[in-house]
Structure formats: C-alpha cells, structure tokens
Amino acid sequence: MPTIDPLTDLGVRVTPNGGQLRVWSAHATAIELCIFDEKDPTWVAASVQLTKDAADVWSGASPSLVAGARYSLRATGPTGPTHKFDSSLHLIDPYSRGLARTAAGDWRSYVQDDAFDWNGTKKPNTPLDHTVLYEAHAKGISKLNPAVPEELRGTYAGLANDTAITYLKDLGVTAIQLLPVHQFVSEQRLIKQGLMNYWGYNTLNFFTPHAAYASREAQFGGTGAVLREFKGMVKLLHEAGLEVILDVVFNHTAEEGIGGPTTSLRGLDNASYYRQDAKGNYIDVTGCGNTVNFALPAAQRLVLDSLRYWANEVQIDGFRFDLAATLGRDEKLDFDPNHPLLEAIVNDPQLENVKMIAEPWDVGMGGWQVGNFPDRWSEWNDDYRDRVRNFWLTDIAATRATGVAPIGIGQLASKLSGSAGVFSQERGPLASVNFVTAHDGFTLADLTAYNQKHNLGNGENNRDGTDSNHSFNYGVEGPTHDATILSAREKAIRNLLGTLLLSAGLPMITAGDEFGRSQRGNNNAYCHDSELTWLPWEHEDWQDDLLLISQKLLRLRNENPALRPVRFGIFGETVPSATQMDWFNKEGLSMSITDWDSPAERTLQYLAASTPEFEEFNRILLIVHGLEVEETVTLPEHEGVTSYELLWNSADDHAPKEIHAPTTELKLAPASMQLFRAH
C-alpha cells in the first residue's frame, strides 16, 4: 500500500499580507477564489484565479483574505459522466474552518479566528482500561436541564455547565462521546417532509463545529465566537477530568446522490472524491446516497488533516468513526484491514494517544468487519449487544413461552470475559466496545417495555428502524401499572446494566439509560428534535434508584481491576494486566461441557483474578443466573480464597454486605446477578 503524504497546509493560512488559499483538485481546469463584500455575502468583491502545481494543489493569495472574510470557490472542468463541474456554483472550501449562511440559504466559507487561551489545560489521557464512554447528544443533554440558564440550554456552553459536569462526574463515566458536531444539514427528503436531521449524520464540512449548537450570543458574536464556545466546553470538561470524543462521519457527505445539492467535493472533483462507475452512477455502500472514495490519497488526506485539527487545535481526545468499514475499502471496494488510511489513523505521530473507535460495518458487500480492524483500534461489538439482550430478554421470553430456554450460558460467558473469540490475542479485550444500546435503537428501558418498534412519527409508515430488537415487554406492550411487570422490567434493566459494567472491555452507556429514559418505543428517533430525544432531568422515584445503582456499578468497576483487564490471559502463563479466569457451575465445581451448553443450566460463577502491573492485586466472583426460578449455588473453593464479600445483588440493591466462606450455599433470586470481592 502507498504511504499517505498529508498536505497539512490545505485551506486558508493567514499571513502578514492577507491570506493564502490552497485546494486540491486533479480534474479541474480552472478554480476561482471569490471573496465577498463584508456587508453583502452575495456580492463578489474580489476574485483570484488559482494556479495549479504538480501535486494538483491550486493556490492563490489575497490581502482581503483575513479573519472574518467570507469566500467561496468556483471550479471549471471537463464534462462527462463522472464530472459535475459547474462554474456558476459557489463551493465550500473542503478545509474551511468557518461557515456562514446567506439569507437565501447558500453556504459561504470564512477565514476563522482560532485564537483561544487554553490556560495550560491538558488532556486527561484516561487509560483505556479506566475509560467509560457516555454517548450523548450535544444539544439534547442540556436542553431540559433547569439548572442551566435558559439561553444556554441545548448549547455547547450548556453541556459544560457545572451541573452537567457534576452529574457526569458523580455518575462515574470518564468520557462524553458526542453525536456528530461537524457542521451538518438535513437531507432533502426530510426537509420536504417537514422534518429535520437531529442526530447529525449528514456532514457538510469536516473542520467546522455545528453552529446551531452554540449559544445565540456566540452565533451572532462575530468571527471565532462559535469555535471559542466549543473550545471553552472542551476546556471545562478537561479541567474536570472528562474526555471528549467526537462521532465523525467521513464515509459520506451531505451532497447525497447525484440529484442532491452540490456544495463542495462534488463540484471540485466528483471523479476523485466519490465512488462511481464509468457511467457516473454512484456506488453507495453507506446507504446515504454517496460514498467517499478512500482508495485515493486525496480523501485519505482530508480525513487525516481533519483529525489532526480537532485533536491538536481543539484538543479532542478521541473519535468514533461512523460506518468505518467504508474507510477501509480499497480500489476494488474490498475491505482491507491493512488499508493505508486505517493504519495511518492509529500510527500518525500527530494523533498519538488519541482514542480511535470504529463502527466496524457498512451496508456494502462484506460490510460486517467486527474484529478485523488493525491493532490500536477499538470497535463497537454488536455481537456483545445482541448476546446480552438475548440472554436477559428474548431467552427469558422464549422460556416463558415453551418452558425451555433456547440456549445455555456459554456465549454470554465469552462476552463477560472480553470477547476473545472475536478479537485477537494481540489486541486484547479493550478492542471491544461493549454496549447494550446506542443512539440508534431502543433505549434500555424500552428494551424491556416494547416487543415492536413504534416509529410512525418518523413519517415512513413504521418501515424505518430495525425489526431485530432482541427485546421483551414482559407481557404488555408499552407503559403499564402492573406492579409485577414493572418489577420484572426494572430488574431486567439492572441485569443489563450490571452485565455491561462488569464485563471485560470498554463499556459505553447511552445517555439516559442510567436512569431508564424512554423514547416511547421509537427505535430510530433520528428526526426528532424534541422532548422525545432530549435528556430529562426530572425523574420518578424508581429512576432515581436506578441512577444510584448505575453510580454504584461504575464505582465497583473502578475499584476492582479484575473487571477491566488490558490483555487476554494465556493458560499457564502470567500475563501482566490480564485476568486469570476460573469458571464454576452452581455446585461450585469446574464447568463441564453440559454446564456450558445446556439450556437447563444457565447459572455460572466467574472467578477473575488480576495479574497486577500498575494496581494492587484484586479478585472478584460474579454469579450470573439466567432462569426465572430461584436457584441455590455453592460458593467455589479456590487456592488463596478464604471468603467472599457481597458487593452487589441485582435482585436487592439493599442486601447487607455479608461475608461468606467457600462452600457456603446461597439462594439466588430468579434471573439475577451477584458480585463479590474474593479475599
């Protein structure tokens, strides 16, 4: 594979004599820089014809190209099925760090004022094994927060309000993972329906923060004000020890299909930036109308330069890559785990210690690539999600219906211990981002309350959103006053949270799941910017109780390194920062093949001991019982273990902290978990 040669000076660079602009296009025959009147963003006050060098970089300079100056590009080029040049269109600079809109809705790049005083604030650099991700929406997290001044609710400043930061710290998460905050627009289809893109997976530009998430004061505060508010948010979160991870959408752009709006890449060099056949038909492996062509260096450079900008100049701590399999497709559209872009992202010296997380699939052929990314990548593990949901929900439903569980406990055990069957020995358990829910799908509470999606409000006659939810409503679809059903649902939520936060790997919580937020059965609420999707800050009593349990589970995870190994253990060897695992059945004996596979035997005892490298020795015992009948277990005997101290019981969070000797018999409540510290 060729080495990527980033051109880090693309875009505008301000000089003492104005500014210089550099833009890449291999097929253009002429590119004109247009600089607009200071008071009228529709009037071209000056223009410069750019000149092309041997690297296909077009450049030009102007004394008017100063901070605040609005500008565009007009490109001329050949005709033909793969080209979409139109010299009448004012295009966005792909490297523009500031964007403004005219009264008619057209976009203009502007020269950014990026001055900001970080005042010595440093990135937290939280070790990966101590990291807990909290996936949230930049607007939705504070829109309903009554403690935030009204004018700051739903803004970057509101997210960084003291109450929000205190909440995140008290919860115990270490990083907030924001849904897309690159400048985006709603799809043409949604606009025609009178809807909008709330999630933001329709990127207009890879270098500019979404202005609508800034406060009104910042939006009308002149050049640099929105960026300063964004950086101020990052600074305050860092001062509190919280990392900021951005969900980035490089796989496609807001230019959509051929009939979509031409705003930037299509007008500058459609043949280079987008995947298409010889007839100019777009080859779409994203399901979003277009696919950026990462087989060519220009798109690779664009991604790397964007990451460098956000990681270094905006101090972002990590990135979650939407449909990341697309970034690893070669010239034949095959996924290549050694793709130069995938390798460069984790090996670039300018991105050292930046966390990289892949959504390891897209909708093209061979699109599911979980476990196949290079070293130093972490990946969303959808197999973990589905297996955990099945064990606590659909398996329970099937058992109620037939009297027999459909599967034993073996598959869940592999997920508890880090998904070694999915990720290589070299990559270890932290390659797995464990999640039970995400922005896309049911919330945790809705998993226990709905068997079917309820998406009519999305305007697609309930056709959108997955039908494979792995959920169980416990007998009633949606809200109920039945105390027995409510109790079962709440315990199921505790079991799901407990499994997530006590598993080896990198856990991700979806905002609101820690207290049981509902979206009323909508499993694809991407087009709702309303109280349906905003985070509620006023809770019912059971939600406050669940929040306390979430805090407790996160505290227990932090206090017990045996729950968060860095490496997989190797039988017969002592591997630093790994976990020595022993598995016992309900009788306290080593698990047999029958114990692993039998649907009648869904109880196990997982004894995990750390192999210290940086922390004190620690050993835990996790008991999982996956049938809705009471069960008796015998605590296992193990060399060096003299007692077991109860830390948490999913069936009774107020259970006393009893200490039991090995061989003690304990009663397990139906479908429950218990965590002990072994001494």
Instruction: Tell me the per-residue pLDDT of 268-281, one tens digit each, with 9 for 90 and over.
Output: 999 999 999 999 99
Whole-number pLDDT of residue 466: 95
Note the pLDDT tens digit of each residue in 599-629.
999 999 999 999 999 999 999 999 999 999 9
Token pair belonging to 32: 């004109």
Whole-number pLDDT of residue 3: 44
Amino acid at 208: T
DSSP summary character for residue 56 = S
- 203 CB-near residues (< 8 Å, 6+ apart): 180, 182, 183, 184, 248, 249, 250, 252, 253, 254
Gyration radius of the chain over CA positions: 27
Whole-number pLDDT of residue 656: 87
Geometric angle at alpha carbon 426, from 424 and 431, rounded to 5°: 65
H or E stretch including 271?
helix 265-273
- Tell me which architecture the domain covering 11-110 has in CATH: Sandwich (2.60)
| Distance separating alpha carbons of residues 73 and 57, to the nearest angstrom | 14
Residue 236 has pLDDT above 90, yes or no: yes
Beta strands 133-136; 506-510: pairing state: parallel
Amino acid at 104: A
Q: Determine the length of the chain.
A: 679
| Exposure of 114 in the CB half-sphere (CA atoms within 13 A) | 18
Average pLDDT over residues 463-485: 97
**Catalytic site positions:** 322, 359
Q: How far is CA 602 from CA 384, 510, 560, 666, in A?
A: 17, 28, 25, 16
Whole-number pLDDT of residue 181: 98
Question: By C-alpha distance, which of 101, 48, 95, 49 is closest to 70?
Answer: 101
Average pLDDT over residues 111-116: 96
Q: How far is CA 439 from CA 367, 508, 511, 672, in A?
A: 20, 11, 8, 26
If you average pLDDT over every residue of the chain, what do you get? 96
Note the pLDDT tens digit of each residue in 373-420.
999 999 999 999 999 999 999 999 999 999 999 999 999 999 999 999
Residue 1 has pLDDT above 60, yes or no: no
Scanning 514-659, the segments in alpha helix (DSSP H) are: 541-559, 593-597
Q: How confident is the model at residue 7 (pLDDT cuts 50, 70, 90)?
A: very low
Whole-number pLDDT of residue 574: 87
Note the pLDDT tens digit of each residue in 182-232.
999 999 999 999 999 999 999 999 999 999 999 999 999 999 999 999 999
Question: By C-alpha distance, which of 584, 444, 427, 578 is closest to 501?
Answer: 444
H or E stretch including 189?
helix 188-193
Judged by average pLDDT, the poorest of 44-53, 489-498, 533-542, 565-574 is 565-574
φ and ψ of 666, to 5 deg:
-125, 150
Chain-centroid distance, C-alpha 436: 13
Q: How confident is the model at residue 571 (pLDDT cuts 50, 70, 90)?
A: confident
| Distance separating alpha carbons of residues 195 and 536, to the nearest angstrom | 22
Whole-number pLDDT of residue 8: 54
φ and ψ of 101, to 5 deg:
-115, 140
Q: Which residues of 432-455 are buried (b: 16+ CB within 10 A; e: fewer)?
A: bbbbbbbbebbbbbbbbbbbebbb
| Distance separating alpha carbons of residues 18 and 22, to the nearest angstrom | 14
> Reduced to 3 states, what is the DSSP secondary structure of residue 72?
strand
Q: Could you identify the residue written with the tokens 């056949």?
A: 277
* Cα diameter, the chain: 85
Where do the DSSP E strands lie in 243-382? 243-248, 318-321, 355-358, 378-380
CB of 8 closer than 8 Å to CB of 55 = no
Judged by average pLDDT, the poorest of 505-509, 573-577, 619-623, 636-640 is 573-577
Whole-number pLDDT of residue 653: 87
Q: How confident is the model at residue 108 (pLDDT cuts 50, 70, 90)?
A: very high
Where do the DSSP E strands lie in 630-670? 631-634, 644-649, 659-660, 665-668
Residue 177, beta-bridge partner list? 135, 245
Beta strands 133-136; 378-380: pairing state: unpaired
Residue 568 has pLDDT above 90, yes or no: yes
CB of 343 closer than 8 Å to CB of 6 = no
Average pLDDT over residues 323-351: 97
Whole-number pLDDT of residue 5: 46
Domain regions of the chain by residue span? 11-110
Note the pLDDT tens digit of each residue in 33-62.
999 999 998 999 999 999 999 999 999 999
| Distance separating alpha carbons of residues 135 and 357, to the nearest angstrom | 13
Question: By C-alpha distance, which of 175, 205, 213, 375 is closest to 305?
Answer: 205
DSSP summary character for residue 585 = -
DSSP summary character for residue 423 = S
CB of 387 closer than 8 Å to CB of 415 = yes
pTM of the model: 0.97
